[in-house]
Amino acid sequence: MLVSGAQAAWILCAGFYLLRLGGQLMVHTALTATARQFPLDAGKALGAIALGLSLALALLPVAAVQINHLAGWRIAWLINAVVLITGVVLAISCVPRAAETPRPQ
């Protein structure tokens, strides 16, 4: 949302910097949470996550360019923010509350 509403170059640069750090943090968080949730089959679960990440890296830039072409760059960034927030809310709602994860033996 910061990038879509930027009125100055320094705000745009700050928004891109925060996007870069946030993207790295989300990938690391997804990998760590998956490995902790499935300790006995962590390799299989991380393989599925890596496959999904590769698929996203292949398809999402094409979708972003199409949205940018159809709606403009500010609306494209706003749509991206709404989709991201919705995805985070859905992901958090799927996380079990106070569940003990079994430890591998």
For residue range 49-60, what is the model confidence (pLDDT) as tens digits?
Answer: 899 889 988 998
Closest to 4 measured CA to CA, from 61, 71, 63, 104 = 71
Looking at the predicted structure, is the pLDDT value of residue 101 above 70? no
For position 71, what pLDDT does the model report? 92
pTM tops 0.85, yes or no: no
Looking at the predicted structure, is the pLDDT value of residue 99 above 70? no
Task: Please report, for residues 23, 70, 72, the alpha-carbon distance to residue 7 in angstroms, rounded to integers and kept in the order given.
Answer: 23, 22, 16
For position 100, what pLDDT does the model report? 60
Token pair recorded at residue 60: 């999402």
For position 103, what pLDDT does the model report? 65
